[in-house]
Amino acid sequence: MSEGLDLYQESIKQMAAAAHGHGQLASPDGEAKLNNPLCGDRVHMQVALQGGRIAALAHQTRGCLLCRAAASLLGARAAGLDAAAIDAATNALEALLQEQAAAPPEWPELAMFRPAHAHPSRHKCALLPFRALQAAVRKTVATQTTNSPGRTGHVRS
């Protein structure tokens, strides 16, 4: 038990400890580094894309449990998704944090972040890895579209 503080339930601690996707890709197609300048947390996200979808993902995350749990969740779940799906997941997490919206059926694990709704200063902690993945995928898609238009699939307008 977390002595009445439901933010730190076992599911979030286990997800952070699992650190799915932690590490670096040997030859990423693209990457993004995002900081939270208020606290110094940092996520370095690398992706490899195939047909506009995430074929591989790796991240180096320096942050709190919420930040590391979110990065780990992406490490476990983001493979096979395209930019639109990552945007949708990010939006769903933001709505869940800000408005206590329900987790979407395709991302039930996001529910573990619901207790953070009561702590606005922590919203960015959970969102930082999602924002980093959005940036990495967007940059990669843009680069691949410029360099080899036939290589990537869907590009979100």
Partner 1 sequence: MSETDLLRAEFPLLAANPGLHYLDSAATAQIHRCALDAVVRHETGCRANVLRGSHRLAEAADRAYDAARTSVARFLNVASADEVVFCSGATAALNLVAHAFGATLRPGDRVLVSQAEHHSNFVPWQMLRERAGIALDLLPVTASGELDLAALPRLLSPRTRLVAVTQCSNVSGAWTDVAAVVEEAHKVGARVLLDGAQAVQHGPQDLRALGIDFYAFSGHKAFGPNGIGVLWARGDLLAGLPPFLGGGGMIDEVAIEASSWAEPPRRFEAGTPPIAQAVGLAAALEWMGGLDWPRLREREERLCADLIDGLLAVPGLRLLGPPASARRAPIVSFDIAGLHPHDVCQVLDHHGLALRGGHHCAQPLLAAFGVDACSRASLALYNDEADVAALVEGVAAAVRTLA
Residue with Cβ nearer partner 1 (31 or 41): 41
Q: Which is nearer to partner 1, 12 or 47 (CB)?
A: 12
| CB neighbour list of residue 134: distance below 8 Å, 6 or more residues apart | 83, 86, 87, 90
Helix boundaries (H) for 19-80: 65-77
Position 13 contacts partner 1 (CB under 8 A): yes
Alpha-carbon distance 56 to 12, whole Å?
23
**CA gap 150, 43 in Å, rounded:** 30
Q: Quick check: 72 and 19 in contact, CB under 8 A?
A: yes
Site string for partner 1, 116-155 (x = CB under 8 A): ---x--x--x------------------------------
Among the residue ranges 1-9, 79-87, 105-113, 148-156, the one whose residues contact partner 1 (CB under 8 A): 1-9
The pairing of strands 30-36 and 53-62 is unpaired
- Report helix angle 65-77 to 10-18, nearest 10: 70
Least distance in angstroms from the C-beta of 44 to partner 1: 13
Number of residues that bind partner 1 (CB under 8 A): 20
Q: Kindly state the tokens that stand for 100.
A: 């206590």
Residue 19 is a binding residue for partner 1 (CB under 8 A): no
Looking at the Cβ atoms of 4 and 105, the one nearer to partner 1 is 4
Site for partner 1 in 31-60 (CB under 8 A): 38-42
Residues that bind partner 1 (CB under 8 A): 2-5, 7-8, 13, 38-42, 62-66, 119, 122, 125
